[in-house]
Chains A and B, each alone.
Chain A
Amino acid sequence: MIPLSWYLILAAALFSIGLFGVLVRRNAIAILLGVELMLNAVNINLVSFWRYGDVTAMAGQVFAIIVFAVAAAEVAVGLALVISVYRRRNTVIADELDMMKW
């Protein structure tokens, strides 16, 4: 049998990798890719807690479903924003989008 710890460590590692992508990638779309990895790490946690806790309580799976919905919404809006920005500024490099400074 696989202990819970394996899944949790996998999720933590995936989360950190995603975080790394979010923090360092220059391309805005790549940042969103990192966000997806982080969300998936969260979902692994949710589902494994469902499996290792009381399986008749469906909260874990339900929350995973809601995370799916949120992720889809996030991607749709995020990519729309990126495309919209790209139309105006002709760039998707996050560092170059620094109008919001002092």
Chain B
Amino acid sequence: MDFWSDPLKVAADWLEGIFTGWGMDAVLAHVLVAFLGVLLLIMLLMVLDIFLVWVERKVVARFQDRLGPNRVGPFGLIQPFADIIKLMIKEDTTPAGADKVVYNLAPILSMASVLILWAVVPLAPTMFGVDLNVGVLFIIAAGAIGALSIIMAGWSSDNKFAMIGGFRQVAVMVSFEIPMITMLIVPTILAGSMHMNEIILRQDIWYVFLAPLAAVIFMIAAIAELGRAPFDLAEGESELVSGYNIEYSGMKFGMFFAGELLHAFTFGGFWAILFFGGYRFFGLEQVSPILAIMILVIKAMIGYWIIMWVRYTVMRIRIDQMLAFNWKFLTPLAFAVLLVTALMNALLAGAPTWLYILGMFLAHVVTGWIALEIARSVARKEREQVEGVQKTLEASH
């Protein structure tokens, strides 16, 4: 087998051969190799994570018309390593009233909930951890563990700010999970499968063109799930300070921080996989798996960049606005989109491809337009109400 067409398989076979050659049991060797593979993936992700810190800082600097890190190394590239060293040598404090086991478990779970996501990410046509037949649901399941880690961190810190911050964050995560899971069903319907790899293979036309509204809603829900601006209410300088991770310092804080960054990047990746064809790009993925991985990473980066773009340009909103936005607008809209998609999919099942694409696209555009019109009229009414009150107040003076 040619190494370049499937390097991982070749390497794994080679390693297994060596292990069995040492007289090891075949099953044990297989498990060991798989374990090594997972380790490799995690290492790569961690390295990527370090790189992401630099990307984030550099990008935010450009958004804010600054230069960003530029002292350590060329373009400040070595800056993250300096940060890590700083985090490592910082004193690792634990509050006196903290629940020690839970307190220490929380950052690990937080990081793990992100890393576990990569088990189902297809990196290249032949490279994936497991091709789970419920891969799409797995994303939500891992998110549940993330929510658990946050509530654990908030509770165990024995700090009111941390607890309130954790509560808020979890409330948002649980709420926005609903539109998100609903929008995950849209690619499932279109592809007719919950295998991640299958969804990619079926995307001869990117699903963003079939279901643009679903892609947008998924992105909004993902940003809320990540707890990033404009939905970053877990932290607030004047009210909660840093939120659930207020008592954490040193590398434990670093794990939360790195976990968040990697999480954002991962969701960029999922966005790319579910709506932008994953590793596919005009057949280039067939040339070499390396190329496929690069395509996926570039697409994920673009998604990540959009998340950052939103974060640094949109104002944050209050928690009541956010929850109202979710329950009164996004969730009903998500259900409507799901219904419309399922209906159109059934109606256009026998139609020619161009009609299918056009019908799907138009249905989404129309649904979105109607939703916006409804939202606009509601907003107008509310504004009139508020302004009316103000006017009567002014008149009474």
Do A and B have CB atoms closer than 8 angstroms in the complex? Answer: no
A binding-site residues for B, Cβ under 8 Å: none
B residues apposed to A, CB below 8 Å: none
